[in-house]
Structure 1
């Protein structure tokens, strides 16, 4: 289970310093073309039949004492893994399916009821994570949530990045054909053709690109939560960097900050206990403090990837495209000082035409022999 606070500058619908109308309208996208019975409404701890107009009003009217240029609301998301979704569906319906569309209308609603119940529990954990005496449950918050069942590939999806890197390698190899001998040209063309087999595709055989709808289980929940608590006497920001400290407010000591790791861990634990779920290695939430060993490897790979963008020009890295195929993890690790190490290594590489051709073929060869992926 993965829960997340979305950075305001990356939220769909733009700024969170004004009305919530744009983000609410964006979350209505899956209702387009559906009749009233099939449309999925907003919900919270007290109602599961909140219209878009009511949702916007609830958030926009809860802004007492919040300045014009201050954040008025935040967007969160609750993202169960594939196996967690399968487990929940089987527990609720007794059926094993490969897509939520295989459920009947009534079965789907039963599953959604459980998802809503769990989402409200996550918001309870969110409230308690601020450590305020007057904010102890989801009932102390003003929020609206929406279930979605579809996801699309975005430009930073691992699958999209992988395919872009394969295409880039093919293009770079095509550039080496100029002036190459007939024998070299023949071998290079074979490598270019074989790289097509490394492009990731969906079940219909279509190459995965930005905007393509993902297959399988993609059920998730978006939450829009007001910065103010329900009484509008306490501001709550999950973006506060201070954690565990205290400050004086109205003559009383109050906790500062929001511990994201604690919220994520408690939300995952809540799902496990509610539905008797035994998480596998991929589902188990791992705090950042315990990811060091794995992140070091990933940082090294990504560092080398990011410093190489044009094999025809100055060669800035030795292991770019070949590393890409090993980046299908859900982890998103920050680029560290390893980048500088990769740059230092890259400086020893010369760039005459023969070296460019040789290195391009080595990279392509590595891609062709890398691990296979699920599409």
Structure 2
């Protein structure tokens, strides 16, 4: 489960409206008949139009400064293993979203009118998307890039030869392109993977737009707070503040596992991914302690994510060289960003 929380920006500034972001989320509906479209939904309603989402989010911004975000975007991306546990893809993801937003409000260290924040206090809209596209940061695209660069140069040279701008053997250059295409390490359906190509398989994920202000338009609820839990004096009153992302991400995993009977492997957990970055020595030590069957599944999952791996993981801790871990940490930083782990 990969989750990110992002304050939406337009260039270097926070967007003053939600229309551009909502339009982006409508991209899969382009050209579809009304009955075939995927609509927005929230805790209590389905088939909510994009126009209603924009209207409601943009009207819920009382007393916010231009330097403050009007809304946040939460992206929830289940893995293919998690998606395989679903029986009804769309309905199950809607059910999960409604449960995970309860986890979201429970992660605020805030009180409104003397009580904890609850699900009725937030204004959010969610949408399921079924497609994902390869990004430039994806391992497959990065490792294909040297081949892509040579192919592009050869195609450019062919055009120059055809225009009489330089000499060359076009047939030979085309044969070289064919060899490079065959030698490219990552393909999908026989085609070289490039940035912007749609990913095969079940790619369903959830986009959520949640207002910075609560449903009453009086209180600010920021999941981007740098505080997990603290208190501050405001207008003579002691006010709680903060949002615990670790708590939210952990609860989101447990909610999925409980609802769909999912047996989560060690390497799939948010805690393990965070440990990989902060303490790789401990991470690999715990990985090696897994039962043989679980360890085999873990290795398969790591390979599929493109996470850099050592050819053979040493069992002796003294063999875990610092330079190897530094390389792994740099590599996983890229994997984290491209996979939207959201630490």
Question: TM (normalized to structure 2)?
Answer: 0.69
Shift of the 67–201 alpha-carbon distance from structure 1 to 2, 3 Å rule, reads: same
Q: Could you report, residue by residue, the CA deviation over 1:227-269 in whole angstroms, capped at 9, with x for unpaired residues?
A: 0011122112222212222112344333333222221111011
Which among 137, 143, 146 is matched to residue 124 of structure 2?
A: 143
- Structure 1, unmatched stretches of 5+, are 93-110, 173-188, 299-325, 343-375
Matches within 5 A, 1:1-375: 1-9=1-9, 16-89=14-87, 92=88, 111-134=89-112, 136-167=117-148, 196-202=182-188, 204-286=189-271, 290-291=275-276, 292-294=278-280, 329=305
Number of aligned residues: 270
Q: Could you report, residue by residue, the CA deviation over 1:127-173 in whole angstroms, capped at 9, with x for unpaired residues?
A: 1211212253322101111100000111111211121145569999x
Q: CA deviation at 1:14?
A: 8.5
Q: CA deviation at 1:283?
A: 2.9
Partner residue, 2:298: none
Contact 1:2 1:268 in 2 (8 A): no
Q: Distance in 1 between matches of 2:199 and 2:106?
A: 34
Counterpart secondary structure, 2:3: strand
RMSD over aligned CA atoms reads 3.4
Shift of the 243–159 alpha-carbon distance from structure 1 to 2, 3 Å rule, reads: same
Q: CA deviation at 1:199?
A: 2.0
Q: CA deviation at 1:6?
A: 2.5
Question: TM (normalized to structure 1)?
Answer: 0.64
**Structure with greater contact order relative to length (CA < 8 Å, sep ≥ 6):** 2
Q: Distance in 2 between matches of 1:296 and 1:197?
A: 37
Q: Distance in 2 between matches of 1:331 and 1:267?
A: 23
Q: Could you report, residue by residue, the CA deviation over 1:51-98 in whole angstroms, capped at 9, with x for unpaired residues?
A: 000010110010111123321011111111101111113xx4xxxxxx
Q: Distance in 1 between matches of 2:76 and 2:152?
A: 39
Counterpart secondary structure, 1:224: strand
Q: Distance in 1 between matches of 2:105 and 2:98?
A: 11
Q: Distance in 2 between matches of 1:295 and 1:6?
A: 30
Contact 2:110 2:242 in 1 (8 A): no
Q: CA deviation at 1:29?
A: 0.5
Q: CA deviation at 1:7?
A: 5.0
Q: CA deviation at 1:284?
A: 2.8
